[in-house]
Amino acid sequence: MIEPVDKKRFARLSALSPMEAIQAWLDGDFGLGDGPAMVSAIRKDSRITISDAAIWEFMDEAMMKPLLASTCMKRLVAAR
């Protein structure tokens, strides 16, 4: 795992709600080493049961498409 470059940003991202974390991911509002904070924030929604790797892959693909955070949330919850 890559250590976060900005520990304050990492802490801020970890504290986000799942929807806020998804939006931050879509906006590219994170840096090197922040992935675990983003996944951790998204996992606060207990309905999301897919693996960390699957969340990461889904969100990376979602960044390339014009998806809303609400659409991403629905798809993450539906993924099993």
Indicate the DSSP class of residue 66.
T
DSSP per residue over 2-35, as a string?
PPPS-HHHHHHHHTS-HHHHHHHHHHT---TT-H
Q: Is 40 left (phi over 0), alpha (psi -120 to 50) or beta?
A: alpha
Instruction: Please state the domain extents for the chain.
Output: 7-78
Cα separation, 72 vs 10, in Å, equals 22
pTM (two decimals): 0.91
- What's CA 67's distance to the chain center, in Å? 14
Percent of the chain with pLDDT over 90: 86
pLDDT of 3-26, one tens digit each?
878 899 999 999 999 999 999 999
